[in-house]
Amino acid sequence: MNQMDKTAKIEDATKFTVKDFTELVKIGIVNSNTITAFTGMWLAFQLTGVSFIQNLDILIFTILGSGMVVAASGAFNNVIDRDIDGIMERTKNRPTMTGKISGKRALLVAAVLGVVGEALLFMTTWQAGVIGLIGIFLYVVVYSMWAKRKLVSNTVIGSFSGAVPPLIGWFAVEPTFSAVPIMLFLVMFCWQPPHFYAIAIKRKEEYAAAGIPMLPVVKGIERTKWSTLFWVVLLTILPFFMWELGLVYVILATVLNVIWLALCLYGFKMEDSMKWARISFVYSINYMTILFVSMVVIGVFL
């Protein structure tokens, strides 16, 4: 490699675009988790009688803090997964793989985001800050460094961290447990396995090549469909423990769950499992969006 090539490579490595940053922190996951954190916070305001207008600082600290904590976790994950991301089609172009962001720089970004995010959360309540720390530990250490690579149950274990944001939002306003935050946690927890199983089916060969023991790789697609059905059945039960959100919510959530149940059952008859996985994935995204937006809207009338 001549000097010109070396210089060009160094220049490429020092470029840090907005797109590179959003890919590093997994902005899609940041956005979706921030919505669930906001929902938890919003419901806490509405159900406890705490003034929303008089506590705009809590809103700002919670949204920014939870977003940064999730972003930090995503960046840490990208650094940890560099040995397998290059093998998988959907991850081979991440900035940590192309060299646009070095491992050291990614770690620095992750650390800064994590520290600032946690500082903001602790400015609401110490409980929200601790829950944020637990979320980072579960995702980065327990899931990314261990379960994802070693256990078939990696998706379920990873769901614990993914269910933390609504708890952060709730505890930032009302630092005590009650039925609503527990149910929000369980909704997020039960939603994640069927959502990620759909991805795992679509990317089965890639996960196999990377040596990641996803359920479809180890147990097969048929078993994955049964597991998907199991988690959707659990989701179907949860609305009946959420009467504090009113009849409209219970009916809406039940309708969404019944549709997903029907889709799961139809999956056993479809010969094209990849097509079913794509449909299931799209439905899971719309399901979560509709469910949490409805919670926010309904919260206005509580």
Any idea what the CATH number is for the domain that residue 108 is in?
Answer: 1.10.357.140
Based on C-alpha coordinates, what's the Rg of the chain? 20
Are the CB atoms for 24 and 75 separated by under 8 Å?
yes
Place of tokens 């959907």: 90
Q: Where are the alpha helices (DSSP H) in 138-246?
A: 148-150, 154-162, 165-173, 179-202, 204-210, 215-218, 221-237
* DSSP secondary structure string for all residues of 1-64: --HHHHHHHHHHHH---HHHHHHHHTHHHHHHHHHHHHHHHHHHHHHH---SGGGHHHHHHHHH
- Flag whether 47 is in a domain: yes
Report the pLDDT value the prediction gives residue 204, as an integer from 0 to 100.
95
What domain range is 199 assigned to?
17-300
Q: What's the domain count of the chain?
A: 1
Report the pLDDT value the prediction gives residue 139, as an integer from 0 to 100.
97
Report the pLDDT value the prediction gives residue 287, as an integer from 0 to 100.
97
- Flag whether 188 is in a domain: yes
- Flag whether 31 is in a domain: yes
pLDDT (tens place) for every residue of the chain, 302 residues total:
444 444 344 444 456 688 989 999 999 999 999 999 999 999 999 999 988 899 999 999 999 999 999 999 999 999 999 999 888 888 888 999 888 899 999 999 999 999 999 999 999 999 999 999 999 999 999 999 999 999 999 999 999 999 999 999 999 999 998 999 999 999 999 999 999 999 999 999 999 999 999 999 999 999 999 999 999 999 999 999 999 999 999 999 999 999 999 999 999 999 899 999 999 999 999 999 999 999 999 998 88
Report the pLDDT value the prediction gives residue 14, as an integer from 0 to 100.
53
Report the pLDDT value the prediction gives residue 64, as an integer from 0 to 100.
98
Tokens of 265: 């059952």
Most distant CA pair in the chain, distance: 71
- Flag whether 251 is in a domain: yes
